[in-house]
Amino acid sequence: MKKKLVISSGAGISAESGIKTFRDAGGLWENYPVMDVASADGFARNPKLVHDFYNQRRRDLQKAEPNAAHKALVDLEKDFDVYVITQNVDDLHERAGSKNVLHLHGELMKIRSISDPDYIESLDIEHLETTPQTRGKNGDLMRPHIVFFQEAVPNIEKAAELAHEADIFVVIGTSLAVYPAASLLYYVRKGVPIYYIDPNPAATPDIPNLTVIPEIASKGLQTLVAKLRGEG
């Protein structure tokens, strides 16, 4: 029976594909104050700005391709039962071929009903643009399927379950500053090995069984794969 390998991925894994990281210098994202384009208040104040912002993010995503780090996780499925919990809203894990992906902060290529959060539709390359007047097939007004600041994270309980079930837990490309995602480390069972891949790793003095690999995602995963397969 394959061991359960649970991955928690952040912006660092997509940065190598040209996806700009969420938290930019000075609290700006693509020159916008983050709270204007990624908060519940911001959406209530100016829904057109938020729709336009995510339209541009979708256009940018079409130019991006999965990188070696995304592909390495797919390759690990040969030897492990791999589950990816991602803070990223892009679809690069899926496009690389990962079978089990749980999105904590929503999905860029989906929209959902403003009145019914469980009603979700997928977009495609021919239909990337939305506006405050966009309606779903059911007639509901739609919004980006993004978990804004000031909103609950619906998938955090499922993510915590996966972390608790892990035989090996890996954190890739995250500052460990965004909660509740950063709290997943504390759901890992005692004695389970934890690996943390990041070129600028956060201090983690209270995490037992932790191995820090201070490298970018693609290189760090090469190191990890060698360790997991007994080659390093």
Q: 17-35, pLDDT tens digit by residue?
A: 988 765 555 555 667 888 8
How many other β-carbons are positioned within 10 Å of the β-carbon of residue 115? 10
At 32, phi and psi to the nearest 5? -105, 140
What's the CA gap between 95 and 141, in Å, rounded? 28
Give the tens place of pLDDT for each residue, 202-217.
888 788 889 999 999 9
* Stated pTM of the model: 0.93
Q: How far apart are the C-alpha atoms of 130 and 55, rounded to whole Å?
A: 7
CA neighbor of 100 nearest in space, from 120, 81, 118: 81
Q: How much is the average pLDDT of 122-139?
A: 96
To which residue do tokens 């130019």 refer? 63
Check the CA dihedral 217-220-222-224 and report its sign.
negative
pLDDT above 60 for 200: yes
User: Is pLDDT of 85 > 60?
Assistant: yes
pLDDT of residue 28: 58
Tokens 């995250």 sit on residue: 174
Strand 106-113 relative to strand 120-122, pairing:
antiparallel
d(CA 11, CA 231): 28
The CA distance from 32 to 197, in Å, is 29
- For the segment 143-161, the average pLDDT, to the nearest whole number, is 96
pLDDT at 77: 97
pLDDT for 62:
95
The confidence score (pLDDT) of residue 31 equals 77
User: For all residues of the chain together, what is the average pLDDT?
Assistant: 92
In the block, residue with structure tokens 């983690």: 204
- Give the pLDDT of residue 229: 84
176 — pLDDT class (breaks 50, 70, 90): confident
Contact 31, 190 (CB under 8 A): no
DSSP 59-80: HHHHT----HHHHHHHHGGGTS
What is the percentage of the chain residues whose pLDDT exceeds 90?
80
Residues assigned a catalytic role: 105
